[in-house]
A and B are shown apart, each in its own frame.
Chain A
Amino acid sequence: MRNFLIGVFIFWLIIVGLIIDHEKKTTGPTLIKGKNNSNKTEIVFWHAMGGPLGIVMNRMIDRYNAGQENYHVKSVNMGGYDTLAKKVLASLVANEAPDISQNYETLTKKFIRHNKIVCLDDLIEADIAKGGEDIKKDIIPVLLENNTFGGKLYSFPFNKSVPVLYYNKDMFKEVGLDPNAPPKTLDELAEFSKTIRNYYVKLSEEAKTEADKLRFKEYYGYGCSKANVWGFLNRIMQFGGYIVKRNEEDILVSGFNEQPAIKALSHLQEMVKTGSAREGQAFDHQNDFIAGKVGIIESSIISKVFMEEDIIFNYGVASLPGVIINDKINNGVILSGSNINIFNNGDPKKIAGAWDFVKWFTSTENGAEWSIGTTYLPVRKSSVDSKTIKDARKADSNLNAGYEQLGHCNFEPRLTAWFEIRDMLADYIEESSLKMGNPKDYCDRMKYDVDSKLRYVTDKDE
């Protein structure tokens, strides 16, 4: 028995060893990439880019390192954004911060307040003084605004994305919808979703076998995640509303009790109520889409790179639908994703290296490569107009939706209390779809709770 157990243990060790060896040989993203064997200044970059995104990023970092004489970027994958934020904060307390990291705007504001990051305007001005480029002129305006605090650029847009619609062209065709005409308005979205749902309900009713009855019952028109704050905020924009603004008395107020927000919540609620939409946990809607069980889903543009290998039907990617206001379709989407901060670690060489890397990574051609490889939005206007992106869009029309929506992008409030407020919104949205109460009541309560929080918000640059 003892010998048998030892044998099993040794066998297990061999298997684990082989797996690790195989992992090393594959090109997948590793926790730490880029060993510095030279005297180059090391730039430590903490990020949350895993899977196919990490592969593209590490490939580009390797190229940067290969072409560099002065600097060496060490890419450290911290897992998710939450973990990254916690580790960055802990590292700041321990005075062991990385040189650069991805972060959300709310954290950037904390860093500015405590003088932990470098003001990028100072670096840009130094570049201009040396005859270099004024990079700000080439940054896409909404991204520039998103990263400007107190009139100064403190973070650099890095991996920004927008939500889009993914739709199953084969399913559209099957149910009698035009596969080349995705919904352009929220009304059409509701109508198309209902058409898909009704088609499969009918198939289920007419099915000869119990298995088919059950199978067709699981088909839906539209899928999204439960407590979907992003979707709700997008709809508020599409209905022509606002999230948070300063009133005439310079007091921060939210717009959740106004008609656009009420209509936005009603729209989400109505689609679930009529049975044409299905809300799932986390990425359930993506899995349902891949499985061909849902016709249309609303998800980030970057979901494309995660889903495309598994999708075995014809699918399309379209801009989010809008709402007809004054005979014109009003589109509106909220940006997502993070930015880069350069930490003020007191070493000018490291700051210079970090800035050099950021500029290189987001330069016209590299930014275009990053955008095509990951579907993230490019940072520079010149990248959008580059031949690389134009050719890629011609070759794959499903890339278009991200770029098309650049013109009507907004961003979520950058208040330090925003994450807490977002959680509150998620609770109300979840409650509204579970209990199906009056949307106005939820919106009034939302407004009351959010404004109560906003009363204690002292930071500017919302």
Chain B
Amino acid sequence: MPNKTKVDWGAYLYLMPVVLILVAFHVLPIFYSLAVSFYEWDLIGSPEFIGTNNYKQLFHDPMFFKSIWNTIKYAVISVPLSIFLSMGIAILLNNPIKGIGVYRTIYFIPVITSINAVAIVWNFIYHPDFGLLNKILSWFSIDPVAWLQDPDWALPAIIFMSVWKGLGHNIIIFLAGLQNIPKHLYEAARIDGASRWQQFKHITWPLLTPTTFFIFTMSTIGSFQVFSQVYMMTPRGGPLKSTMVVVYYLYRKAFEQFEFGYALAMAFVLFMVIFACTLFNKLYLEKKVHYS
């Protein structure tokens, strides 16, 4: 006869506050939102059930597809760029050089600065007439570029700023990953005559893969949710809607055109896209991760 285990109800009591908060502010709103996505609702009146019409309409909405395409472009460029830049800088910052704390702080400052404040500053940097960037380009006799007003440049400009903003966060995580790599592996490699590149290729890169995988997954999720910089720097979704990303389109539908059901349907399609990407990462890319 199995031993009767005594249930410690105290543990549940300790868990209750956080569970209640999660249920009230996360779980319930998710299910409520899912339900509302099957309704037409302008917030003031009563929601009207319209079945899957919002979803059907979504798949006939060219702006939705444009926003998905812009979001994919944003993710495909910003995520690898951010990973490689932050990894490179983290490797440099991992060296015992003088004033390393100052450098690390400098890279981390954008992370702790409000995205709205950063966006305002970058609006000035990108200004076609008196922006800092065009001023620098003029030293090399390069014609000014209308960074945020040109449909070809607006999205790259947003991506560049976003990569700069998020760099510090990734650098710190990479630094933690780098410091977990045992030093004796490098010593052994050096004794065997391995070059710096060989050390990176055979020690740093494989042993950093858990960190890279984590950053890749989180950055991908984050990049699909890009909003603030687009909202602040390119009102209306940029020139010819070149920076119209899904979350911004969703926001406009919900809070400017008051089509809440439609916006929520969009949110759930976005959720499915992010979920599919994360699943792909988990099932396929994680196999290439060296956890030891």
Which residues of A does B touch, CB under 8 Å?
A: 82, 86, 89-90, 92-93, 110-111, 113-114, 116, 218, 226-227, 281-282, 419-420, 423, 426-427, 430-431, 434
- Produce 1/0 per residue, B38-65, CB < 8 A to A: 0000111100000000000000000000
Quote the shortest CB–CB distance from B232 to chain A (angstroms).
12
Please provide the chain B residues from 228 to 283 with a CB less than 8 Å away from any CB of chain A in the complex: 235-236, 239-241, 252, 255-258
Q: Which residues of chain A are within 8 angstroms of B42 by Cβ–Cβ distance?
A: 110
Cα distance A281–B236 in the bound complex, in angstroms: 11
Cα distance A82–B236 in the bound complex, in angstroms: 13
Docked-complex contact A89 and B256, CB < 8 angstroms: no
Chain B interface size, under 10 / 10 to 19 / 20 to 34 / 35 or more: 10 to 19
Which residues of B does A touch, CB under 8 Å?
A: 42-45, 129, 148-149, 151, 235-236, 239-241, 252, 255-258
Q: Which residues of chain B are within 8 angstroms of A92 by Cβ–Cβ distance?
A: 43-44
Docked-complex contact A434 and B151, CB < 8 angstroms: yes
Q: Which of B43, B149, B255, B257 contacts A226 (CB 8 A)?
A: B149
Q: Which of A113, A226, A227, A434 contacts B45 (CB 8 A)?
A: A113
Docked-complex contact A89 and B44, CB < 8 angstroms: yes
Main secondary structure of the interface of B (DSSP, over half): loop
Main secondary structure of the interface of A (DSSP, over half): helix
Cα distance A377–B129 in the bound complex, in angstroms: 35
Q: Which residues of chain B are within 8 angstroms of A419 by Cβ–Cβ distance?
A: 256-257
Cα distance A92–B42 in the bound complex, in angstroms: 12
Docked-complex contact B236 and A426, CB < 8 angstroms: yes
Docked-complex contact B258 and A89, CB < 8 angstroms: yes
Name A282's closest neighbour in chain B (CB-CB).
Answer: B235
Q: Which residues of chain B are within 8 angstroms of A226 by Cβ–Cβ distance?
A: 149, 239
Q: Which residues of chain A are within 8 angstroms of B236 by Cβ–Cβ distance?
A: 227, 423, 426
Docked-complex contact B256 and A431, CB < 8 angstroms: no
Docked-complex contact A430 and B44, CB < 8 angstroms: no
Docked-complex contact B44 and A434, CB < 8 angstroms: no
Q: Which residues of chain B are within 8 angstroms of A281 by Cβ–Cβ distance?
A: 148-149
Quote the shortest CB–CB distance from B238 to chain A (angstroms).
10
Cα distance A58–B235 in the bound complex, in angstroms: 30
Name B146's closest neighbour in chain A (CB-CB).
Answer: A281
Q: Which residues of chain A are within 8 angstroms of B239 by Cβ–Cβ distance?
A: 226, 430, 434
Q: Which residues of chain B are within 8 angstroms of A111 by Cβ–Cβ distance?
A: 44
User: Counting chain B CB atoms within 10 Å of each CB, which of A82, A282, A420 scores highest?
Assistant: A420
Q: Which of A93, A427, A431 contacts B43 (CB 8 A)?
A: A93
Q: Which of B45, B129, B240, B257 contacts A430 (CB 8 A)?
A: B240
